[in-house]
Amino acid sequence: MGKQLIIVESPAKVKTIKKFLGPSYMVQASVGHVRDLPAKALGVNEEDNFAPQYEIIDNKKNVVSELRAAAAKADTVYLAPDPDREGEAIAWHVAELIRDKAKDIKRIQFNEITAKAVKEALAHPRDLNEDLFDAQQARRILDRLVGYKISPLLWKTIKRGISAGRVQSVALRLIAEREEEREVFKPEEYWLFKALLSGETPPPFKADLAKINGKKAVIANAEEAQALEDALRGQPFVVESVEQKERERAPQPPFITSTLQQAANQRLSYSAKRTMNIAQRLYEGVELGDRGLTALITYMRTDSTRIADEARDAAKDFIGKHFGKDYLPKRARVYKTKGSAQDAHEAVRPVDVTITPDEVKQHLPPDQYNLYRLIWSRFVASQMAGARFHDTTVTIACAHSQWRAKGERMLFPGFLAALPRAGEDADAELPPLEAGQTLKLDKLDKEQKFTQPPPRYSEASLVRELEERGIGRPSTYAAIISTLQDREYVSLVDRHFVPTDLGRVVCSQLTEHFGRLMDVGFTAQMEEGLDKVAEGKAHWVELLRAFSDDFNPTLAAAAKNMQSVKGGIPADLPCPECGKPLMIKFGKAGAFLACSGYPGCNYTSNFSRNEEGRVEAVAAEKPQYEKVGQCPQCGRDLVIKKSRTGSSFIACTGYPECKHAAPLSTGVPCPRCQKGQLVEKSTKRGKIFYSCDQYPQCDFALWDRPVPGPCPRCNSPYLVEKKGRAGAKIMCPVKGCGYVKEDGDEQN
């Protein structure tokens, strides 16, 4: 048998797969995508059936060279990126780049990285799926058309450097409209009554007021509350009826991407992005002592609740052994998957159910352990018998009112035994009661309440809303949320999303001029169209043409009619210095208030919004500066300050008496002259860059923030921090090296 080459996405997978394949297999990584549309051009020929103009990504040229060289040595190349559209696209692009070197190219996929799954995939390779690739390609081109064409309009009318996204903008609209609902909401007063009652035997129990004169109890004000209290005084509370029944509560299905993100946010306070990053590590493999590098969970980007028969059988054996046969359901649990799901995938589950959270705890950092425990417990619970309860509902009469008390007693824990930290309430038991029995009133409580506005979206509820409305897909939820935050269109307040003023004005402009694009229903239709392309039921070019025929006239109209707000948005406040209207403006540091009388009046202020959304000026706090030493001229403290154009520098706190100042060093020696240090600077327009402090003798400069090295792969003396939609990454600046350091882990 000759050499075989397996190409996966990440180096972590390389290490895991190499562990259980023999020396006849070479395993290499593409390190994600290797080709994409150009960074500084549209890259789509709309006149030629939307033909994309792909380019090899700059820092992947060396990776591509290595893959081509390896392909030339192999009898067969197996493309094994992730089992979804994005993975199919990576496989397709790699195939295009190695086709002239490879003798034979096949596609394999697996939902878990185990010896059995990988060998099974190698035994059943397939051809590349053009439909899946076309669906990913269509999504990429759609997003490029929207972002590349609309963003310049936003630069022209709002501020430079902001952008629009096809799906993210609709998510922004959901958040902004929820905030508007909250601002116009008028709270209404109501009152609640509770009675603490006792029967002939303990315990005492609470009953809630349910009806007055046979109708649902609605008490609107203090006068009505007092009148009811007066009417009840001295009246007997008599049991009208006692209803008892048994109830079974079924477990929830195993996790899919969206429910995993929701549960991790609610129970662990993890963001969607953090959840997916941790899950990626658990999927690709982690070190487990004597077990070595071990993949713990199945593929985490899925909308299917399907479970392989083998995994279900393993769960059955585990439950029977560790919990007992009574904890097994009468029939194996099979969960219904929604129609749009890719059912070839499985749910997110542990690869090996016998590897318990307790067993791996000593080997995993807390965040990985917590997420694995969440996934493991949910999967085991999903295959267990239901929990059984005995429910009691008591109806009680007093004068013209009716009260209700409910009790619950667990008869059998069932699946709850696998969820010890699920936050289940203790049993709320009632004493023995019977119809006609008179009860003693121990205490009558009344409480004034007010109706609440609709809640802001948390990460969990936003993901749920996106899924229910058909916006995005499992692989995109985390990116949608991260992008909105990175663009500073939304902020998190008490773990709930609030649109920033920049987000509000972007949403307003887009909704006014691109109503169809911002329509939730239309976005869901586009997702359905992409699903049809993936299923081979629609052609990607026709989908793009239909979109473009509608989008281009709208774009032309917006270019003509979109009004600039660079002069500011009325804040409905007078200037405290001259009385002229204040305006909301957008600067490098965010939104602020400025007088419309500028330059005659220079008044500016920070501001906040109250619960009704009205703008309120906020006095600027005295800035707190970081101390970095003592001034060499006067001995006072040196601190880090910001220049007018946004760059950081070191200055003396004795200013203006002492004018000592110096650039802020990054701690990276200049790689060119070896004499100077790289320091932070900024252009007149406020763009940050880094240059040698020996300028003009040395003119070395770069845009990305330098980070002390060296590169562990090519020994470059420094690394750089690159910021993108997915956040910041530390990587090597040397073209072709490809080293990327993310969250402390090498991603080479």
Are residues 537 and 556 part of one domain? yes
Gap between the Cα atoms of 87 and 79, Å rounded: 9
637 in helix, strand or coil? Answer: strand
- Provide the 10 A C-beta neighbour count for residue 723: 11
Residue 187 pLDDT exceeds 60? yes
Are residues 391 and 246 part of one domain? yes
CA distances 626 to 221, 632, 657, 688, Å, are 53, 17, 20, 20
Amino acid at 554: T
Mean pLDDT calculated for residue range 308-329: 96
Percent above pLDDT 70 for the chain: 95
Are residues 605 and 517 part of one domain? no
Mean pLDDT calculated for residue range 663-672: 84
164 phi/psi in degrees, rounded to 5:
-115, 150
SS3 content of the chain, % helix, strand, coil (to 5): 35, 25, 40
- Provide the 10 A C-beta neighbour count for residue 355: 16
Cis preceding-peptide flag for 474 (omega within 30 of 0): no
Q: Which two tokens stand for residue 376?
A: 């493991």
Express each pLDDT in 437-457 by its tens digit.
Answer: 999 999 999 999 999 999 999
Alpha carbon 581 to chain centroid distance? 39
Query: Among 291-295, 340-344, 707-711, which is the least confidently predicted range?
Result: 340-344
Are residues 196 and 51 part of one domain? no
Q: How does residue 480 score in pLDDT terms, banded at 50, 70 and 90?
A: very high
Please name which of 745, 657, 734 lies closest in space to residue 62, comparing C-alpha atoms: 734
Are residues 484 and 431 part of one domain? no
Residue 1 pLDDT exceeds 70? no
Sign of CA pseudo-dihedral 318, 311, 341, 330: negative
pLDDT of residue 427: 65
Percent above pLDDT 90 for the chain: 68
Using CB atoms within 10 A of its CB, is residue 45 exposed (0-12), middle (13-18) or buried (19+)?
Answer: exposed
Spell out the residues 6+ positions from residue 746 whose beta carbon is closer than 8 angstroms to its own: 11, 712, 739, 740
Gap between the Cα atoms of 371 and 267, Å rounded: 10
Are residues 261 and 333 part of one domain? yes
Residue 342 pLDDT exceeds 80? no
Amino acid at 643: S
Mean pLDDT of the chain: 90
pLDDT of residue 230: 95
Express each pLDDT in 495-540 by its tens digit.
Answer: 899 999 999 999 999 999 999 999 999 999 999 999 999 999 999 9
Looking at 382, 402, 418, the residue that finishes a domain is 382
Kind and range of the H or E element at 7? strand 4-8
pLDDT of residue 748: 31
Domain with 347 in it: what CATH number? 1.10.290.10
Instruction: Find the largest Cα–Cα distance for the chain.
Output: 100
Are residues 369 and 263 part of one domain? yes
Looking at 561, 577, 592, the residue that finishes a domain is 561
Are residues 607 and 582 part of one domain? yes
Q: How does residue 95 score in pLDDT terms, banded at 50, 70 and 90?
A: very high
pLDDT of residue 744: 37
Phi-psi region of 65 (alpha: psi -120 to 50; beta: other; left: phi over 0): alpha
pLDDT of residue 641: 84
Domain with 86 in it: what CATH number? 3.40.50.140
How many CA atoms within 13 Å lie on the side-chain side of 616? 8
Beta strand pairing call for 705-708 and 745-746: unpaired
Mean pLDDT calculated for residue range 132-147: 95
pLDDT of residue 623: 59
Domain with 553 in it: what CATH number? 1.10.460.10
Q: Are 256 and 336 in contact (CB under 8 A)?
A: no
How many CA atoms within 13 Å lie on the side-chain side of 564? 8
Kind and range of the H or E element at 667? strand 665-669
Sign of CA pseudo-dihedral 414, 417, 423, 427: positive
Q: How many helices (H) and strands (E) does the chain have?
A: 17, 37
pLDDT of residue 723: 74
Are residues 727 and 653 part of one domain? yes
Mean pLDDT calculated for residue range 481-490: 91
Are residues 314 and 284 part of one domain? yes
Gap between the Cα atoms of 473 and 523, Å rounded: 12
- Provide the 10 A C-beta neighbour count for residue 407: 18
Residue 241 pLDDT exceeds 80? yes
Are residues 647 and 739 part of one domain? yes
The end-to-end CA distance of the chain, in Å, is: 29
311 phi/psi in degrees, rounded to 5:
-70, -40
Gap between the Cα atoms of 127 and 133, Å rounded: 12
CA distances 282 to 7, 286, 380, Å, are 20, 6, 17
66 in helix, strand or coil? Answer: helix
CA distances 361 to 157, 305, 357, 436, 735, Å, are 53, 26, 6, 57, 40
Higher pLDDT residue, 384 or 693?
Answer: 384
Mean pLDDT calculated for residue range 293-302: 94
Domain with 212 in it: what CATH number? 2.70.20.10
Q: Which two tokens stand for residue 557?
A: 């109209």
Name residue, tokens 């209803």: 243
Beta strand pairing call for 76-79 and 4-8: parallel
Q: Are 386 and 250 in contact (CB under 8 A)?
A: yes
Amino acid at 171: A
pLDDT of residue 426: 58
Sign of CA pseudo-dihedral 122, 126, 130, 135: negative
Helix 366-382 vs helix 257-268: crossing angle, to nearest 10: 120
Gap between the Cα atoms of 132 and 86, Å rounded: 9
Spell out the residues 6+ positions from residue 724 whose beta carbon is closer than 8 angstroms to its own: none
Number of domains in the chain: 6
Beta strand pairing call for 205-212 and 189-198: antiparallel
Residue 706: give the domain boundaries.
Answer: 627-746
Are residues 123 and 36 part of one domain? yes
Q: Which two tokens stand for residue 497?
A: 């999303």
Radius of gyration of the chain (CA): 31
Gap between the Cα atoms of 668 and 717, Å rounded: 8
pLDDT of residue 423: 47
Gap between the Cα atoms of 661 and 96, Å rounded: 55
Q: Which two tokens stand for residue 267?
A: 């129970």
User: What b/e string do you get for 6-16 counting C-beta neighbours within 10 Å, with b at 16 or more?
Assistant: bbbbbbbbbbb
Mean pLDDT calculated for residue range 250-271: 94
Beta strand pairing call for 293-294 and 286-287: antiparallel
Q: Which two tokens stand for residue 710?
A: 């060296």
Sign of CA pseudo-dihedral 695, 700, 706, 707: negative
Looking at 358, 382, 406, the residue that finishes a domain is 382
- Provide the 10 A C-beta neighbour count for residue 143: 15
Q: How does residue 472 score in pLDDT terms, banded at 50, 70 and 90?
A: confident
Catalytic residue ranges: 299
